[in-house]
Amino acid sequence: MINRDTGKSDGRCHDSTPVDPWVADFSQHLTMELKRGPRTAREYARDIEIFGAYLQGRASSDEHKAPYRGPFGDAFLEATPSSVRRFVMHLGTCKYGAAAIRRKLAVLRRFFSFLKRDGHRADNPAIEVPNIKLPKRLPKALPVGDVLRLIGTRAPAGQAELRWRRDIAILELLYASGIRRAELVGIDASDVNFDDRTVRVIGKGDKQRTAFFNHATADALQAYLRVRPPCRDGALFVSAQHRRLSYQQVGRVFSAYVRLSGLEGKVTPHTMRHSVATHLHKSGVDLMTIKEFLGHESIQTTQIYAEMTLEHVRRSYEEHHPRDRMR
């Protein structure tokens, strides 16, 4: 299923191999030449398949229904700027968010650029379609007190020690290191170095980097490792079946603790990443250091945390400046 706000797949695709040969070639180009991860390739393929289904009159407005996956014949070779524009308008009527539409348009531009490079098209019809303007929206960051409340949430009565120690270690590590959920599930036990309090992770584009964690996280990890069952592939976080914990399972663990904590609003594992970056910047850590800490390729991505801090200053100013309070 596709998240209509972000345009990303939730991972419930039953078969990740594209049916259409053009989409299959593009997926191979992403993974083999551009070194994109398999999850990214699947999401890109799904976006193109939604476009292909639209071109063939098989589009569905039902988010719970998987799109027609092809083959699409010559539909991609015959697509025009007008058909891309109509597709964008169609997505709007299906109540996709601006970010999701913008993402799909970016994927189509890259796909048609690939077809043009390989001599299958003379043009790129998606280039001529303007971008959807995104509303200015800062990522959500929890106050420190709410993070501590979440991490300190007691497990349900009767829950096995293995499970609650694992879950607390997950929460601690997400906040301490700022790693992504996809990075967390890929960690092996051998990637953790308690002497340096570091963990080796594989980020976007299969790039390896070192993340850091604090003493509290080290204690939580060591307590979990004392009861962790053996896992054939060496995964750090494992299920009751002794298998590597999946991306979706981590999401369910996190959601359960958010509910137990009583926190309101949408709080996700990625919220922890935004929260630690915001807290570090408010404490005086410079943006270049935060860029390296988060594994961002560009400082422009990290710049959002400066804007978040400025917004906090503005709200505090308006709330506490004595001149306005005297009016």
* Catalytic status, residue 204: yes
Tokens of 95: 């109540």
Tell me the DSSP string of 188-223.
BGGGEETTTTEEEEE-GGG-EEEEE--HHHHHHHHH
> In this predicted model, what pLDDT tens digit does every residue of 204-257 receive, in sequence order?
877 888 898 999 999 999 999 999 988 888 999 999 889 999 999 999 999 999
311 pLDDT tier (thresholds 50, 70, 90)? low
> In this predicted model, what pLDDT tens digit does every residue of 119-145 receive, in sequence order?
999 999 999 888 877 555 667 889 999
pLDDT of residue 2: 37
Q: What is the mean pLDDT of residues 254-277?
A: 91
pLDDT of residue 308: 61
* Catalytic status, residue 327: no
Tokens of 219: 């204690």
pLDDT of residue 72: 84
Judge if 21-128 and 144-317 fold alike in CATH terms: no
* Catalytic residue of the set 86, 204, 209, 282: 204
What percentage of residues in the chain have a pLDDT greater than 70? 83
282 pLDDT tier (thresholds 50, 70, 90)? confident
The pTM for the full model equals: 0.59
* Catalytic residue of the set 121, 200, 270, 282: 270
Tokens of 6: 């972000």
In 3-state terms, what secondary structure has residue 230?
coil
More confident residue, 325 or 252: 252
CATH architecture of 144-317: Orthogonal Bundle (1.10)
pLDDT of residue 99: 81
Long-range contacts for 266-271 (Cβ within 8 Å, ≥24 apart)?
266/140, 267/140, 267/142, 267/150, 269/174, 269/180, 269/181, 269/184, 270/139, 270/180, 270/181, 271/139, 271/140, 271/141, 271/142
Residue 301 pLDDT greater than 70, yes or no = yes
pLDDT of residue 321: 46
**Do 185 and 250 form a contact (C-beta atoms < 8 A)?**
yes
Q: What is the mean pLDDT of residues 196-208?
A: 87
> In this predicted model, what pLDDT tens digit does every residue of 66-85 receive, in sequence order?
666 778 888 899 999 999 99
**What's the distance, Cα to Cα, between the start and end of the chain in Å?**
52
* Catalytic residue of the set 180, 228, 281, 291: 180
21-128 belongs to CATH 1.10.150: yes
* Catalytic status, residue 180: yes
Residue 316 pLDDT greater than 60, yes or no = no
Residue 148 pLDDT greater than 70, yes or no = yes
323 pLDDT tier (thresholds 50, 70, 90)? very low
* Catalytic residue of the set 36, 46, 104, 296: 296
* Catalytic status, residue 273: yes
pLDDT of residue 179: 92
**Do 237 and 245 form a contact (C-beta atoms < 8 A)?**
yes
Q: What is the mean pLDDT of residues 20-45?
A: 89
* Catalytic residue of the set 273, 279, 281, 291: 273
14 pLDDT tier (thresholds 50, 70, 90)? very low
* Catalytic status, residue 42: no
11 pLDDT tier (thresholds 50, 70, 90)? very low
Euclidean distance between CA atoms 69 and 87, whole angstroms: 16
Taking the domains of the chain in order of start, what are their residue ranges? Answer: 21-128, 144-317
